[in-house]
Amino acid sequence: MHIEQTTYERIEAMIENYVLRNMITVDSFWEKHILESNHYAVIDKGSIIGYFSIFKKHTITSFYLDDEYIQHGKSIFEKIKHYEQVTNAMASTGDEFFISHCVDNFEKLEKQAYFSIYGKNTSETFQRKTLELVQLRTNEDLELLSLAGDFFAEDPIEDSIKEATYYRIYKVLENDHLIGFGIVETGRVIKSIASIGMYVMEEKRQQGYAKNILKNLQELVESEGFECRSGCWYYNHNSLKSMESAGAYSKTRLLRFFF
């Protein structure tokens, strides 16, 4: 048994199958970290029997072994901690195998994010608003995003106007007035999901628009055949409240373990 660096494409199917088989809830934030990681294959007798990924030298973002090799998990995970410049791991609470190895020996734990799934129901206080979603398709359209300050600063906004893009931005209108923006990211690792997000103009906040935008985006992606997901920073209580009011349930947490 040995370890060698590999490409994402070589283990892509294994990652997707593992997440789906174990019903692990993830979103676009998790996917971005996977796609931007360095990947390693665990090989025995010429076959890939597991993998792990490291994001920006310091963060383990995935770890998996086939069932018949899981007894080697602890010893292999200790080796992984000495690859690159690893100091921590980021794991979904739904990933029992990975998180169990993180729990074995860590110095500090940080709560990173909520990952949510969407149901059909909304909160009892939900009041439907009539909103229009208009996809931004030109560079001129993208100039509107300056109204959101630095909200989109780290987002691939140029990708949003490409053909067959995974990343879409919508302006949200009510009676032709701009309410905010909606975001859809279709899955690049887990092809069956789409992650949604929103931004509400400052003067329109605390008026029920956030949950209405999310509900509209949920209905949009589900009409396209995707399972809806969203996430927020663990301490962003307003975002969490908006998601829950729109019918989301925060099934999963994303945790960071420091070694």
Q: Could you read off the pLDDT of 200-228 as tens digits, one per residue?
A: 999 999 999 999 999 999 999 999 999 99
Domain boundary, last residue among 105, 125, 150 = 105
Q: What percent of the chain has pLDDT over 90?
A: 92
Q: What is the CATH number of the domain that holds 6?
A: 3.40.630.80
- Complete DSSP assignment for 176-220: TEEEEEEEEEE-SSSTTEEEEEEEE-GGGTTSSHHHHHHHHHHHH
Strand, coil or helix: 4: strand
Tell me whether residue 257 is in a domain. no
* Residue 27 and residue 150 in one domain: no
Tell me whether residue 10 is in a domain. yes
Backbone angles phi, psi at 106, to 5 degrees: -140, 160
Tell me whether residue 258 is in a domain. no
Domain boundary, last residue among 75, 105, 135 = 105
Average pLDDT, integer, range 170-183? 98
Average pLDDT, integer, range 137-143? 93
Query: Residue 110's beta-bridge partner residues?
Result: 256
The helix (run of H) or strand (run of E) holding residue 110 is: strand 108-118
Tell me whether residue 208 is in a domain. yes
Tokens 């969407």, located at residue: 118
Tokens 């420091």, located at residue: 258
Query: Can you tell me the distance from the alpha carbon of 189 to that of 197, in angstroms, rounded to the nearest whole number?
Result: 18
Q: Which domain holds residue 79?
A: 2-105
| pLDDT at residue 193 in the model | 98
